[in-house]
Amino acid sequence: MENNAMKQVHLQRSNNNYPLLFDYQSTTPCSQEVLEAMAPYWNELWANASSRQSRFGLMASAAVTLAREQIASLLNVVPERLIFTSGATEANNLALLGHARAMAADKGSPGHIITLATEHHAVLDPLRQLIREGFRLTELYPGPDGLLSKDQLVEAFEEDTFLASFMFANNEIGVIQPLAELVEACKEKEVLVHSDAAQAFGHIPIEVDKLGLDFISISSHKLYGPKGIGSLVMRSELPILPLHWGGGQEQNLRPGTIPVPLIIGFAKAAELAFRDLNIHQEKLGLLRDQLLIDLRQKIPDIIVNGSMENRLPHNLNITILGVSGSRLFRELRPFISCSSGSACSAGKPSHVLLALGRTVKEADSSIRLSLGRDTSIEDIKKATSVIDNVVSRLRGD
């Protein structure tokens, strides 16, 4: 049943197409094909995939096996390397806490870990938990373009560095880290590398083994799949301890009843995203570039946050000087659905923008505009006009 708030939003959108949707990096809707692929597994085929004695259980298990194979083949890895989780947050926690604790148990003492100050909290918070458990953590500040250089990384290694975590693509500023060279530097020191690829998987090519990544975290709801499902993809036989104990599912690393419909939806969403990846990349890149050109024409002093060259095609993050952040968002809200950064940052100034050297005021008056499959050139034109009007009003032009 639709509640009143939902009805209001639908009514507004059907009347005048507002608010324009520019928040596809926080999540995406489930595509129709994904919903159809999942449908039978909510009712007719509702069996537990671990009930191997039952015919329906075997059917559910076979469907999960196929889905695992489909996602694995998109990443060019064997299916056994996938551990299904509730999303990228859990995959990050499992990789970071699970591997670090296993290493400490093996070596008898905790060691040193390296990461980026611009990581998502789903990486920073588990790593900060590891500090409380005796590990040492270095959070490196990238350059003003949001990218970490190999030289900066090399300086940070310590005698007992055993793990590094660098996100594939940033959720706020969209920058794509130069992982090939960062991983190369880590391999020279026998340091394992985890990458949070929640924003990259299904949007840009990911070559896990060619890059030499040991662990990557992926999520379904960023690519038009269901919420509540993701995966840790890890190299075989790396030391890792589970975070939970129970029924032994997912190679004893993620016990609990397997969410069959979500896994089927995840595989379908991934298949579709990879099938049309180049088309979407090209279209969204052109629209995003047009948005920036149009915005710059109207508001010449906007600052773009992060590198434009190494960036997801559907992301733009800009700082608008001289306007109050809270008023900017209040005025934009009826017309544009966008965000100030991570959907999870709960109103605090963006730690990503602060790490890039922006002041609190600048970070507050920054907006992330993220485009999706349905974004049209009309949306770009309307968004430019709305932002221009609001900014002019707030600046008293």
Ligand X SMILES: Cc1ncc(COP(=O)(O)O)c(C=O)c1O
Summarize as ranges the residues that interact with ligand X (CB under 6 A).
Answer: 87-89, 120, 122, 167, 171, 196, 198-199, 219, 230, 343-344
Distances (CA, A) of 319 to 61, 118, 295, 325, 364: 49, 17, 12, 10, 8
Q: Which is nearer to ligand X, 213 or 380 (CB)?
A: 213
Torsion from C-alpha of 81, 84, 87, 88, nearest 10 degrees: -10
Instruction: Output 123 or 391, the one with its CB closest to ligand X.
Output: 123
Which CB, 70 or 165, lies closer to ligand X?
165
Q: DSSP state, 271?
A: H
Query: Please, what is the minimum distance in Å from the beta carbon of residue 388 to ligand X?
Result: 29
By beta-carbon proximity to ligand X, the closer residue of 238 and 343 is 343
Catalytic residue among 30, 186, 338, 344: 344
Closest residue to bound ligand X by CB: 87
8 Å CB contact between 334 and 316: no
Please, what is the minimum distance in Å from the beta carbon of residue 27 to ligand X?
Answer: 7
CB of 284 to ligand X, least distance (A): 17
DSSP labels, 332-365: HTTTEE-BSS-TTSTTSPPHHHHHTT--HHHHHT
Residue 243 Cβ, how far from ligand X at the closest point, in Å? 14
Question: What's the rounded Cα separation, in Å, for the pair 59 and 30?
Answer: 24
Query: Which CB sits closer to ligand X, 218 or 260?
Result: 218
**Alpha-helical segments (H) within 112-199:** 121-132, 150-156, 179-188
Catalytic: 338? no
Closest CB 293 distance from ligand X, rounded Å: 27
**Are β-strands 192-196 and 161-165 bridged in parallel, bridged antiparallel, or unpaired?**
parallel
Calculate the alpha carbon distances from 16 to 19, 36, 214, 329, 379 in Å: 8, 29, 48, 20, 12
What's the CA gap between 198 and 126, in Å, rounded?
16
What are the CA-CA distances from residue 214 to residues 209, 224, 237 (Å)? Answer: 8, 26, 10
Q: Least CB distance from residue 94 to ligand X, whole Å?
A: 12
Closest to ligand X by CB, 88 or 332: 88
Compute the radius of gyration of the chain from its Cα atoms.
Answer: 22
Are 215 and 239 within 8 A, CB to CB? no
Q: Which residues are catalytic?
A: 344
